[in-house]
Structure 1
Amino acid sequence: MSFGGPQWPQEPHQPDGGSGHVPYGGGPQNPPYGQDQAPYGQGQPPYGQNQASYGQGRPPYGQQQPASPFGARNDGTPDWGALAEASEARQRRKRWLVAGGGVLATAAVATVVAVAVVTTDGDAPDVRTGGTATTLPGGAELPTGGAGPQPSFSSVAPPPPPDPMDFISSAGKDRAPLSAESLFPGKKLTFGDRVYAKGATSSTTNCASAGKDGLGAVLQRHGCTRVIRATYTRDGVAVTVGVALFADRSQALGAKQDARGGVTPLAGGGVGDFCRATVCLRRSNALGRYAYFTQAGFTSGRKVTTSDTAVFKTSDDLARFTFNQIYARGRAQASAAATAPAGGQ
């Protein structure tokens, strides 16, 4: 019986209100001695008559009277205590059977493993004696000597990957298509959190016309072959970027070092004239066989001072963007050369 569970019931309630037992001294009373009793010898059959003979009316020897059902008393009331003990005994027997089965299963598995280990060890080489297995299943034998062919490795290191600068430093290798739209794509430029609207673009082989105040002459002297320009605006500030192409890196670097004046501002595409008769910010740089120049100022015509950080920021953004675009050409051509079949160049 578990604690907290239902208690064993009491004896069943009888319809007459009793407990099912006759009280001590209850029931019909015996008449007083000598009353209503037949005299001795009267009312009784003579000896030997109307009496069952010995052995009659009794069960045969070895047979017993049927006992009361298990757990029931002679008065018909179940013996609840005996029922509980029998139930607990059955549960104990089940637990012992389960535990015994687990032990037997474990012993059987251990025996199988031990037999497998012994069988395997019987075919394994004896490590303690230095033995080696030279026979494989099926009769094949392992090679025991070192006279067979050995793998060989090339002592020549693979070539390094192509350098993007090699392609953009010489006109002979820089053969990818180039136009104003490929160099300055789209209708606007997003640089960080700043968005610039693109205006007019231009591409010309007349390098002198793309420079003012002496820059055109410098470009021609160093062998300029083409100038590509584009204009961008933001918050009243406009900037024109000019990219000049040369045969090699040395020519572009010479043009950058000798630069004076600036690139001619490019109006159009919603952008009016700027940097005509006022002070603007001019810068120059070079990368590979490209020299690039910027000229930035206010669309209102106001001159630029050192405190106008918006103009300096615009010039810096477009210069960085142009640098990235030129280097991207070299990286794309280097990647294509690296993946091209041998001898395809």
Structure 2
Amino acid sequence: MSFGQGGPVDSGGSNRSTPDWGALADRTAARNRRRKGMLIGGGALATAAVAVVVAAVVVNSGSTDDSAQDLPSPQTLPSEPQQPEPSFSDVSPPPPPDPRDFISTKEKDRAPLSAGTLFPAETMSTGAGSYKKGASGATKSCASAASSRLGAVLSRNDCDQVIRATYEKSGVAVTVGVAVFDTQTQASRAKNQAAGNIQSLAGKGVPSFCRATACRLTYNSVGRYAYFTVSGYTSGKPVKPSDTRARQAGKDVADYAFSRIVERGNRQASAAAAAQTG
């Protein structure tokens, strides 16, 4: 009895050793389905696990480390210690006194005042030559040292005294009259209201002049002093409008009076400055 590849054959003619290919196929398909489901499930689980890890990383990255929480915030950090402001002692000297202050009011203008202190020199020098000093003096009766019109102005503004001095050169004589007031305002007002003339002062080699004849007049003021000049010829000749000699002489003496008053302020300011530094 021979055997074929498939084994013995029974009487029915069917080969009992032959596998059931349909059942095998069904079982194989079922196994494949189970394997695929496991792979899919495992992949889903793996994906979910990765997602959990990523979420944990994200959450952890947003958290604050305990050590960082222990650090103080900028608002609670101690501020820098307050630095003391540098201090500088004032070592600069005080400003020097203003000379104008000492000739502007009676309260500050305390230096001795007379014809001798205001016009002490026996000559007055200018660029054009020298003038010789004639008579000088002071009076408390201001109106008596001036014409009626100017006398009224001096009295109205409460003149304290008038100091006069005469200077002469080559037949031209000039008398300057310095009217003294308590304040600068009074002196300025007297200058602005001036009319008439200061009376000429003869003596000490200078004859009478500028009496009942035309002469040259000037008016001005500085500080509490108003000063006036009258200039003309000792010969009695009238001064014409075109005359230059009398006009120049009057200007020279007026400038000299101004410089003497200013010098008075300078001396008192210098003395005050020396007292400050001493």
Residue 96 of structure 1 is matched in structure 2 by none
Residue 101 of structure 2 is matched in structure 1 by 166
Alignment of 1:1-345 (within 5 A): 152-154=87-89, 158-341=93-276
In the TM superposition, residue 306 of structure 1 has moved relative to its aligned partner by 2.2
Task: Tell me which amino acid in the other structure corresponds to 1:171.
Answer: K
In the TM superposition, residue 305 of structure 1 has moved relative to its aligned partner by 1.1
Give the 3-state SS of the residue equivalent to 1:295 in structure 2. Answer: strand
Task: State the superposition RMSD in angstroms.
Answer: 2.3
Residue 55 of structure 2 is matched in structure 1 by none
Residue by residue over 1:211-266, the C-alpha shift from the partner in whole angstroms, topping out at 9 and shown as x without a partner, is 11411111011010010000111111111000010000000001000010010110
Query: Greater shift after overlay, 222-231 or 187-196?
Result: 187-196
Q: Is the 8 A contact 1:198 1:230 kept in 2?
A: yes
In the TM superposition, residue 341 of structure 1 has moved relative to its aligned partner by 4.1
Structure 2: how far apart are the matches of 1:198 and 1:157? 45
> Which of the two has higher C-alpha Rg?
2
Give the 3-state SS of the residue equivalent to 1:327 in structure 2. Answer: helix
Residue by residue over 1:120-176, the C-alpha shift from the partner in whole angstroms, topping out at 9 and shown as x without a partner, is xxxxxxxxxxxxxxxxxxxxxxxxxxxxx9984125865321110011000000000
Compared CA separation, residues 175 and 302, structure 1 to 2 (3 A) = same
Report the structure, 1 or 2, having the larger helix content.
Answer: 2
Structure with more relative contact order (C-alpha pairs < 8 Å, separation 6 or more): 2
Give the 3-state SS of the residue equivalent to 1:269 in structure 2. Answer: coil
Structure 2: how far apart are the matches of 1:153 and 1:340? 25
Structure 2: how far apart are the matches of 1:172 and 1:235? 41
Residue 4 of structure 2 is matched in structure 1 by none
Task: Tell me which amino acid in the other structure corresponds to 2:207.
Answer: G
**TM-score, normalised with respect to structure 1:** 0.54
Give the 3-state SS of the residue equivalent to 1:296 in structure 2. Answer: strand
Give the 3-state SS of the residue equivalent to 2:240 in structure 1. Answer: coil
Structure 2: how far apart are the matches of 1:186 and 1:300? 25
In the TM superposition, residue 193 of structure 1 has moved relative to its aligned partner by 3.6
Q: Is the 8 A contact 1:279 1:303 kept in 2?
A: yes
Q: Is the 8 A contact 1:213 1:260 kept in 2?
A: no
Task: Tell me which amino acid in the other structure corresponds to 1:336.
Answer: A
Unaligned runs of 5+ in 1: 1-148
Query: Greater shift after overlay, 183-192 or 223-232?
Result: 183-192
Percentage of pairs with the same residue? 55
Give the 3-state SS of the residue equivalent to 2:206 in structure 1. Answer: coil
Structure 2: how far apart are the matches of 1:332 and 1:232? 24
Structure 1: how far apart are the matches of 2:93 and 2:111? 26
In the TM superposition, residue 189 of structure 1 has moved relative to its aligned partner by 1.2
Paired residue total: 197
Task: Tell me which amino acid in the other structure corresponds to 2:162.
Answer: V
Give the 3-state SS of the residue equivalent to 1:161 in structure 2. Answer: coil
Unaligned runs of 5+ in 2: 1-83
